[in-house]
Structure 1
């Protein structure tokens, strides 16, 4: 008999032991931090995700607990070049290895190629999905080719520069003793 698993309170070890899978589409609004990154309200937008558990070396004294995560979404951000909206696709495909506690995870995460997390009986899978997608948001979103001409000049033709100013160091030079 297959168990049912809740993404909000996932027993990671049991999930991996069964080789279970979860997937779904969650409205973008359910991910508050991710939705806050968007430049405009995006009704109807969803985050597609899937997770698969795996137990490696099941006969071993300490088998490895793994979680494979895939997630994707599209965010409407503001192009930093033309200041128009730009749709940015986000995609995550990562694997996580789970260890007994936070201290072990912190110690092993530095040396491991994979991400190492502490195992939990009530793991927040949607929180992990949101964290991973947030890391995919570009620091400077922009179009490949902007839809409107980009004004690259900061000069204003109507600006009156006035008379050229005297160099302030020239005045100091005149104050030096022995110079006239």
Structure 2
């Protein structure tokens, strides 16, 4: 029997599941452009460790139902994002472990996705697994990256700015003075 060769950029998910096959590999972080765009300027994606990933197909046969196509996706890596407190690079580990169910139509996927904890997608003829993995990595990024404790003290406002604020008269103090002189 001839074994099939699977390519992540043009993956036949149904065939992968039927063969109970798996794929794994690693990619340089810089090769995933949208993920690389999230990098802190001082720590570009070209300096990040490689991203590890794996895909495994599975067909599940529920009792009394039709066969279901599933894809198990795992990925891990480390990214460097900009800390929202100190604006320095913060290194974040990302680990993904997801099961994705594939169904025949977009309508069926939308209907099942509402009720399911698992991701449900319409089964494409060919899936770009690289794009799917990058999407999952992007979704796993922290919304507000920050250090637990910033490595340097947070920058304070310049003393010159503070002095300028102190020199400006308080508009309410001026108003109170006008009010007093108008009553006197």
TM-score (ref. length: structure 1): 0.85
Structure 2 gap ranges (5+) = none
Cα distance in 2 between the residues matched to 1:95 and 1:168: 66
Cα deviation code 1:57-113 (max 9, x no counterpart): 189762010000000121111111111111111111000000001111011101111
Change (3 A) 1:154 1:19: farther
2:118 to 101, 114, 134: 114
> Which residue of 2 is the match for residue 3 of structure 1?
4
Change (3 A) 1:53 1:153: same
Cα distance in 1 between the residues matched to 2:142 and 2:158: 26
**CA apart distance, 1:4:** 1.1
Indicate the SS of the match to 1:140: coil
- Say what the alpha-carbon RMSD is for the aligned residues: 2.6
Q: Does 1:162 align with 2:168?
A: yes
**CA apart distance, 1:168:** 8.4
1:67 to 54, 68, 71: 71
The answer to which structure has the higher helix fraction is 2
Change (3 A) 1:61 1:165: closer
**CA apart distance, 1:41:** 2.0
Q: Where do residues 9-158 of structure 1 align in structure 2 (5 Å cutoff)?
A: 9-39=10-40, 40-43=43-46, 45-57=49-61, 62-151=66-155, 156-158=161-163
Cα distance in 2 between the residues matched to 1:166 and 1:148: 38
Indicate the SS of the match to 1:71: strand
Cα distance in 1 between the residues matched to 2:146 and 2:129: 30
Cα distance in 1 between the residues matched to 2:23 and 2:50: 16
In the comparison of the two structures, how many residue pairs are matched? 176
TM-score (ref. length: structure 2): 0.84
